[in-house]
Amino acid sequence: MLHFLSRLSDIATSLKWDSREMDFEEVYDAQTRERLQREFSRLKDVAYLDHTGATLYPEGLVEAISSDLRINLYGNPHALNSSSRLSSDVVEQTRERVLSFFGTSSLKYDVIFTSGATQALAIVANCFSWRDGQAYAYFAESHTSVVGVRQVAAQRGAKIIPITQEKIESIFNENSPIGAVGGLFAFPGQCNFSGAKYPLEWVEKIRQRGDWSVLLDAASLAATSRLDLSSISPDFVCISFYKIFGLPTGLGALLVRLGAEERLEKNYFGGGTVLMALASGKLRHESRPVLHERFEDGTINFLDIVQLGQAFKYFANLIPGGMSSVEEHTFQLARYLFLSLRDLKHFNDKPLAVIYQDNNFKSKTQQGPIVNFNLKRANETFIGFSEVLHLCNLFNVHVRTGCFCNPGACQRHLKMTVDELEQQFEAGHVCGDAIDLLGGRPTGSVRASVGYCSTKEDMDALVGLVKKCFLETTPSKDRSDLRLENLETNASKEPRLSRLFLYPVKSCGAQEVQSWPLDHKGLVGDRGWMVATDASTPLTQKTCPRMCLIKPTLDLENNVLHLSFPGMSDVSISILNDRSSNDSSSSKICGVVVQMVDCGDQVAEWLSLALEISGLRLLQQWSDDLRKQKKGNANLSLSNQSQFLLVGLSSLASLEKQVAESAAEDECCEGENLLQRFRCNMIVTGWPAFEEKMLRVIKIGGVLLKSDGPCTRCQMVCIDQRKGDKTVEPLRTIAAAGQGKMQFGIYYSQFRSMRDNQNIFVGSPVKKIEVD
């Protein structure tokens, strides 16, 4: 059996990065590093660099939690039986552990458990009592959840004062723009965009300006730095525990300084928060006197609190020196990454990376473990973050892209005006989408964030990838000649359909045919089946490149689907699945629920053996499932966006020429190899290169097709469909030629409903149809 290696060990040799001259000194001792390696065996050949989004939990912690839950009986803490008392005791012990972890005690703070940092902020937003003329002032480079407090504040009559980076120091002066009116001032301990740390002395400084309460967003800071509340006393502190320990993901806390609760007025009351309540007659209730008991509505997430208690215990022994060591370790790694990226320069001495930071990583007191950047080509045009992300995903380097729910920091660092941001929105760009460049300017960036379990090898993997995929070491031909207007070549008088492919099993190999029937979803059986994980989610080549080695053959005459895989016997299943006699299920394809039929245990075991993944199932779409396009009205099989994908052979030839100029010697990306990577249904000869982009309606034989627009490519085109190997090309060339738009091939759907069993034939003429 073939054994595919989709991993960073490939990068270690092919993406060589000589880091010997970089200044780096290990913080953890050898014993700690060895233990962390054992705890994170699942990170073998993975560089995980999204710890600010979610850090990772050690395997031993999962075992400790599992053992605890197996041994102990935890009941609802609102009851009075023995199991509930055990839960109550653990909850209160953990509450004290939280305070101790942050250098304080119940004599100074109370802990309100929440679902996360955002709910902690929402509690303050909804319950804070603004006095006449007071304000909500917030540092503009805060998380969206901090900015969002302003909506409630404005409704309550508070003045809204966003404070920019340029004005932040001025608020502590005599002529402060916020004045002495008082209210609520909010700021983050650490910027989740750039990693910049802000002086915690601001807490006391702002109080000196008047009747101000201070809200500290410590979610990002506390993840890798020691937060000592014995030296500062913010009124409210929001915390997210999974950012510190990796789990539990449904638990956070609002720490409230004793005395500050006087500014919180809670109206709603839920179960467990009252001493008594009358349901009718008098509308009376009496709230509980203890702060956290008044604010923790309903049954608290006591099993997650059990997990949190175990996390505190486990981490106390995991890393000598605790959070102080974590802070030094993560800073040194981030500084090393910063210096490594900063020093990468193209052949013309132009820097490859634009790094968004304010302090040159001089000190851990000023900078946290986040390196935020964009990349530029040698001609100083930006490389879109989506292009970077696709190649990172290809080589198992996990980063995050976008603006990271911090619009203020994103705006300043990317030098965007308010008008420009609104124009981007009107142009269709929204938070979290993949639109990375508008007018050649970035809409977001790439964030690499370091955690307690990160290693120098993780940093080297990212730098090596960036160097291999994007660093230009010699002048190269301007790839702009790949654009449509410059490629009016290879045209003939009679365009024809030259090749026809279907892909019976989504993300598996192609079946080439000379003719094939159509139905209301496209080619009969094309993407009619999919391989699903034990969670019923689709398995694709993005996570399992070996799928390309599975070769399906759909036999419509005998109603059988055959599957083959190197080194294994073939397996065959009937395509006439009766959902009344088979297990039915559902799955989501591009966010749409699709009704499926399970194809049985035999083929499931065959797939699990071939792909070396347990629990796989083969699912077939119901024949009458009416999944529709998101944009358009065509019926779809399990394909992502359209019924057909069409590519002109001249377009492939032009791309092949461009790729040949930049591909490495060990990257075979030409001819049939290149064609198969695009997984198209139709190849047309006789058109000029990229003519397909200009045609709204075409007719192939007797079949009318309408264009659904260009296909945006992802890292799957970098997978050699013959062997499953990963390469940098052709995605790099496509992105460069398209000025960041990674488009190649055109989607088509049937112009109107076709009668079933109408056939399409190789050799059929392809005609342009004029439509009004």
Which of these, 226, 236, 206, lies nearest to 323 by C-alpha position?
Answer: 226
Report whether 504 contacts 511 (CB < 8 A). yes
H or E element at residue 758: strand 758-761
Each residue of 213-226: b (16+ CB within 10 Å) or e? bbbbbbbbbbbbbb
What tokens appear for 188 in the block? 């983050």
Which of these, 399, 377, 386, 359, lies nearest to 444 by C-alpha position?
Answer: 386
What tokens appear for 574 in the block? 């009937």
Tell me the one-letter amino acid at 753. Answer: S
CA-based angle 8:341:433, to the nearest 5? 75
HSE-CB at 539 with a 13 A cutoff on CA atoms is: 26
> Cα(241)–Cα(223) distance, rounded to whole angstroms?
8
Sign of CA dihedral 347, 350, 355, 359: positive
SS3 228: coil
Residue with tokens 């014993």: 31
Which of these, 314, 311, 304, lies nearest to 249 by C-alpha position?
Answer: 304
Single out the catalytic residue among 405, 453, 599, 714.
405
Report whether 731 contacts 713 (CB < 8 A). yes
HSE-CB at 610 with a 13 A cutoff on CA atoms is: 28
Sign of CA dihedral 602, 605, 608, 612: negative
Complete DSSP assignment for 408-451: HHHHHHTT--HHHHHHHHHTT--TTSS--EETTEESSEEEEE--
How many helical (H) and strand (E) elements, i.e. helices and strands, does the chain have?
A: 20, 36
CB atoms within 10 A of CB 407: 19
CA-based angle 24:26:32, to the nearest 5? 160
| 508 belongs to the catalytic site | no
Which residues are catalytic, by number? 405
